[in-house]
Structure 1
């Protein structure tokens, strides 16, 4: 009797359920494809329908209380879902309100894993059929509730989850199609500027790149990541700074170099000259600050690319700086930069370019002496870094042209024989430390040359200081000092006395 009552109850419930699902408002079972909800830009994808069968031979043969209980429970749940969907459709509940009704929570990552997402997609499809003039979409619903930034990040992460890859991939496609914003708008929506150079390693970057490709495909446009970052970070100078900083980050370095190359190509295609890039990067205000600015490396990289494109009009970073600031200011700034740890590397690079620029432009050693204005320094030239620059250039020229020019020859040519002798005497007297150590070998080299030319102390006075041989006592104090020091050198070299005896007429 108990079994009979149970069967009657079960049959009644099943028949009632069949009536419900057969009604005009039959609910479609949603597959992952149904996530691709209706929108004005996308063709609707209809989900396959599965109707509960009213006749099942297997059931007739093997139906039992346990199986009937399961069917009744499942049927009751479906009836509840159907009633809920229908009631919300009648109330014209919007997507966000329905999402809250599903209690998907405030964590988008968790929501994407939930089977309730299928229910949301089903509701969106039904809503759009019933209210074609007020269409909604799953992606708009999610972004309205969770925010563009959170949804974008979560979709990128969820793409790697095998359980949701189809659903998430469709949502990302819908995200692109549904978005009616510019590339710059999407950059701002993703709040990439807040990430600074870490934006280059965030998953949000994938969303922006996908959108750029989508826009270019649809509009045959010329949007690029370089343009988006330039606009998003407030100009080429700022984005260049960020990219330079990012090259020191393990995770961001690769993308930073790629983007830097894109930026350089953008400048090349725009016909920028090195001077224009110097100003674009704001390296044109103060040479000392420019040497400390990491954007100077970007300028150097651009000039390398520029020279590849213009082999007959090659430039250099050093040449660009001197053309803008002048030789004196650049040389002075380089001397200071060589003493600072944070600028020494750049200073060395620029000094190497400096030598090559001088040689390529056809400057002689005498030209460089004059360019460095060593003649204005008097005996203080011995302690000037400019002397090292001249010596470096002499060695550079000798290596390029198999020359035999010496530093002494260059100084004699620049100062003149007599003035050099005076400067070296004073340097030996007043210079200290390394400067004094430089003066002595130079003076000995000059004195050795005088010996080879047959000079004695009297010859020094008569030939160099133009003292009348009959009036040697009229020689200046400096002339007598030079002659006296040479006399000592002469005696040591020859082992003889060369006491100066003024001749009387």
Structure 2
């Protein structure tokens, strides 16, 4: 190797070694050096020169003279950081100091020195000895912009701020070192604010104000944020008045909008405003601003609303009205509020809260502020005719309907307020109608729900009825019945008691209202299909006991029973069945005995006793038990008749006809009758019923009873016995289908009540263990019907929403069977009623293509087309 080559090799080795050392030494303190100018150096003439390999090599060789060992010696000898700065030749580094590797060596030395000797040594005094304030700021800005030096820049800025304050630098100088990002720098800004105050106290001849300095960097909004932060900080609270005064003077001097200026004088609590001279100064400023800038004319309202909610402004108004010194401000603010709200289209309802006292009395109508607001409501209504601007509705929104209605009623009786009260009352009723307020709501608004026994004598009732009639006339699709409001507010027993009192009132109008209410009540029960048993309990008759038949509600109930049986003959009942649901046989006998002693109820009791005996007869109650219940001897004429009928029932073959009525409870009584008549017969109940009535008739009665809530559970139990009976006797799916005569139902098969019975049986049959042949429901249908007939049944079923799902399920299976057997498309078209369609019609092409392509992936037309 040549001599020159050896020199290059040695230099490169030194450079690499130094680079590694620098990287290791400064990784923890500065991360990296400034890379913006890393390849350029400033010449003596101010121009930039490229720093190539040889320049870097020179620096490295120079640096090698200050090896880590030398730095270590400095540290051990406790060499001051300022001296090391000079020894590393950094005093001559100029504005490229961040590019100099020796600078990073020195920064690390400062850190090590602080750590070893536990001293709060800072870089800044040394740097300040060689750089002026502007140069230090340039170094800080360069560090901020250098990639990888963020942490160092933060540290440098913090030490600069601390040093500048510690050395009592001018506040403007200190401020330069702060970051312009207000959210990031708020803690240091607060420190600076405190520093300015301290500086002014220490150097009064050099005293300065904060705002001119702050405005060099922050706008009006940022200044408000600073002010709010100053208010919160315990260290700066005392400075708030000074800063507020400075900001206010600055904003006014700059002729900023009154809204911005107001933010600077705000005390926090709106109740303190009237105690602040600044507030009155601000009001004058609003006037001055409007004179100078008529095109930007404003008022107090935007400023107040910028900081305080409506509730705060309302409190300000209430406070201002109480003092003679501030009444004029209240009046001005009221006027400006209404001007602002009219311009912004704010409704009277929204504005009423500013003018309403907390407590509502008839004095409201005489208050000056109410008159001002009422005029606004009228003006607003004229300007915005489509909007709901009724003054009475705004009042009700604030105080509640009941309170306003009662206040207006009282005010209408006072000479000074009756005119305005009458106008507002009319407006109230019209407003309710316009808003389509439900009569049931108005009923409560008039406090009729609290009237109790005096509701029919309350004059508000006739007002409400008039409203009800008008509402129903204007809203025929949403009519309300009179009884609805009574039903919601008066329990049933109370309702019948007060209507009974009203029906006996001398005033025919009151009596007619009571009759109408009773008629609507009963009609409502009938429409809802309330059972006589439930109504019996609603009328509290289940607790009447000995007074049952003399109770006025019993006559109401018997009328309801007659109406119910006429409207619903399939589920009609009788008095005895209902009474026995609430009273035992013994209790009912006592009631009848007592009733027979009164001339008013004797006839009724006698008839009911006869009905009771007939009921016991159908139950085959033993004569001895009946004699004991009635407490009469067997020789009694009534008992002789009972015994005669009982023996006839037990011994006559025609006795069976008593149980021919198609009602499940009666049919179950037949089982009891049969077993009493044939004590040695061990047939099951279901076998007895089937033998007497037949499978189809029994299934029909079960299906009908399942629709009645009171009989549903009983019917389900009997049905379960019937299905099990068929299974035990080895009936097939087809057997039961024909037993129920479902094959005679035509195209309405799926709609037949007995179809569900067969469906339930076939489900049990398929799931039966050890069933040799698993015949599906569809298989059964194909055995009974031709494909043409079955298609017609399924197509008919698809037209009924209740049958559609089942029809489409069977349709899918039928379609797949056609595809599998390649049934002639012409037949299918005929069965599907599309035989007259054109050859290329979608209906014909659909199935034909499926057969041709032998593709059975689609469920087919019977499941996809809507019939």
TM bucket normalised to smaller: 0.3 to 0.5
TM-score by length of 2: 0.27
TM-score under structure 1 normalisation? 0.43
Per chain length, whose mean CA-contact separation is higher, i.e. which structure has more relative contact order (CA < 8 Å, sep 6+)?
A: 1
